[in-house]
């Protein structure tokens, strides 16, 4: 079992990565936790045992259920069960579950401890680590949320064995992002080591910039277009698939802005070609709707804003001309 410490300013916490990590739940609960509210979904085949009085709270499936309504339902159910600040919430499932459970834990009674047991590759390498919690609005992804660090995260790679192949591949899209953040040789590593390498990389960014005042935004490489594709909707894309398109887009936008050359774009493509993920925009992608959605991105404080490669590595670049973005979208059409 690998143990990585996320040295968050509010307190360090462990991330255990390995086969059977979910069985360590009882030992990572906050000291004195009396009861555990386990938040999960019907489709999650993995039960968790907190070793204390526990109750399961099921939330609906699908991105459309990642909303304030689900948080309200959850908090009301917590209240009826009598959850107190001395108890703990467990988020057991994919990124949607840990985002919603984490946000409910952050706001219920103004904050209850939470432990995450991510059961998807995407959750293990990204969503469950680092304390970002939240839900979507019709206007965009993750527009309402809170930073609420978990007390511990258990990344049990056994739970990835039951993932549908497409869901697993989607996780690889998020994993590919780490290659551009300097994690080398990911595709040659055994799965537990690859997950641990991504967690270690992310832990460094979270420790340095918990609230995304600067450096942490680089973890969103490829995500401005990815989130826009998901917000506009109707494109049959999983998150990691959208990120893979977003990474190719970001490379082409950086080239258009004179930040990188053809060889660097080819380098992006070569790395991403190693994954069985979409390479182009959906045929019916609506450029104008995507531009509007990108302008509402959380990073967009000064106009259209992207994480882009350049001579100094990845940087957040604001005030990108809409015409350059629109022309780059055209480059990525099938």
What minimum distance in Å lies between the beta carbon of 34 and ligand GLY? Answer: 30
What minimum distance in Å lies between the beta carbon of 124 and ligand GLY? Answer: 13
Q: In the set 40, 149, 220, 328, which binds ligand GLY (CB under 6 A)?
A: 220
Q: Give the Cβ contact number of residue 327 at 10 Å.
A: 14
Query: Does residue 202 have an active-site annotation?
Result: yes
What minimum distance in Å lies between the beta carbon of 142 and ligand GLY? Answer: 9
Query: Does residue 177 have an active-site annotation?
Result: no
Pairwise CA distance, residues 305 & 25, whole Å: 40
Query: Does residue 110 have an active-site annotation?
Result: yes
Residues 35-65 as b or e (16 or more Cβ within 10 Å = b): bbbbbbbeebeeebebeeebeebbbeeeeeb
Examine residue 99 and tell whether it contacts ligand GLY (CB under 6 A). no
Query: Does residue 239 have an active-site annotation?
Result: yes
Handedness of CA 284, 289, 291, 296 (dihedral sign): negative
CA dihedral 158, 161, 165, 168 (to 10 degrees): 0
Three-state DSSP class for residue 270: helix
Q: In the set 216, 227, 256, 268, which binds ligand GLY (CB under 6 A)?
A: 216
Choices 124-132, 190-198, 257-265, 306-314 (CB under 6 A): range interacting with ligand GLY? 124-132
Query: Does residue 132 have an active-site annotation?
Result: yes
Residue of 212, 230, 252, 299 marked catalytic: 212
Whats the size of the chain, residue-wise? 334
Choices 47-55, 212-220, 228-236, 297-305 (CB under 6 A): range interacting with ligand GLY? 212-220
DSSP state for residue 178 in the 8-state scheme:
H
Q: How far apart are the first and last CA of the chain?
A: 43
Which residue, 126 or 297, is less far from ligand GLY as judged by CB? 126
Examine residue 219 and tell whether it contacts ligand GLY (CB under 6 A). yes
Query: Does residue 223 have an active-site annotation?
Result: yes
Compute how many residues bind ligand GLY; rule: CB under 6 A.
6
Examine residue 126 and tell whether it contacts ligand GLY (CB under 6 A). yes
Examine residue 96 and tell whether it contacts ligand GLY (CB under 6 A). no
DSSP string, 6-40: EEETTEEEEEEEETTGGGGHHHHSPTT--EEEEEE
Q: In the set 94, 118, 130, 173, which binds ligand GLY (CB under 6 A)?
A: 130
What minimum distance in Å lies between the beta carbon of 212 and ligand GLY? Answer: 6
Query: Does residue 72 have an active-site annotation?
Result: no
Contact 106, 89 (CB under 8 A): no
Examine residue 142 and tell whether it contacts ligand GLY (CB under 6 A). no
Residues 249-283 as b or e (16 or more Cβ within 10 Å = b): bbbbbbbbbebbeeeebeebeebbeebebbeebbe
What minimum distance in Å lies between the beta carbon of 93 and ligand GLY? Answer: 17
The catalytic site residues sit at 110, 132, 174, 202, 212, 216, 220, 223, 227, 239
Residues that bind ligand GLY (CB under 6 A): 126, 130, 132, 216, 219-220
């Amino acid at each position: 079992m690998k143990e990585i410490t996320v040295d968050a300013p509010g307190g360090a916490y462990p991330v255990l990565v390995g086969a059977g990590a979910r069985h360590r739940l009882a030992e990572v609960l906050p000291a004195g936790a009396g009861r555990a509210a386990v938040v999960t979904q019907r489709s999650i085949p993995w039960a968790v045992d907190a070793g204390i009085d526990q109750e399961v709270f099921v939330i609906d499936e699908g991105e459309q259920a990642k909303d304030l309504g689900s948080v309200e339902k959850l908090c009301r159910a917590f209240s009826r069960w009598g959850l107190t600040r001395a108890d703990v919430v467990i988020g057991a499932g994919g990124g949607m579950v840990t985002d919603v459970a984490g946000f409910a834990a952050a706001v219920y009674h103004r904050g209850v401890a939470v432990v995450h047991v991510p059961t998807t590759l995407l959750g293990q390498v990204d969503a469950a680590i680092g304390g970002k919690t939240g839900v979507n609005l019709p206007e965009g992804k993750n527009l309402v949320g809170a930073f609420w660090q978990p007390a511990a995260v258990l990344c049990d790679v056994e739970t990835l064995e039951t993932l549908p192949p497409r869901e697993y591949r989607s996780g690889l899209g998020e994993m590919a992002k780490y290659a551009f953040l300097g994690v080398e040789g990911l595709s040659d590593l055994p799965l537990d080591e690859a997950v641990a390498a991504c967690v270690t990389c992310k832990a460094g960014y979270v420790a340095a910039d918990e609230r995304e005042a600067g450096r942490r935004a680089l973890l969103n490489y490829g995500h401005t277009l990815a989130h826009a594709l998901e917000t506009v909707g109707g494109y049959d894309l999983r998150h990691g698939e959208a990120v893979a398109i977003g990474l190719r887009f970001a490379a082409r936008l950086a080239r258009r802005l004179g930040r990188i050359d053809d060889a660097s774009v080819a380098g992006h493509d070569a790395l991403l070609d190693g994954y069985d993920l979409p390479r182009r925009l959906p045929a019916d992608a609506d450029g104008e709707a995507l531009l509007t959605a990108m302008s509402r991105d959380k990073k967009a404080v000064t106009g259209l804003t992207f994480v882009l490669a350049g001579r100094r590595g990845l940087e957040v670049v604001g005030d990108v001309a809409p015409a350059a973005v629109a022309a780059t979208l055209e480059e990525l059409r099938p």
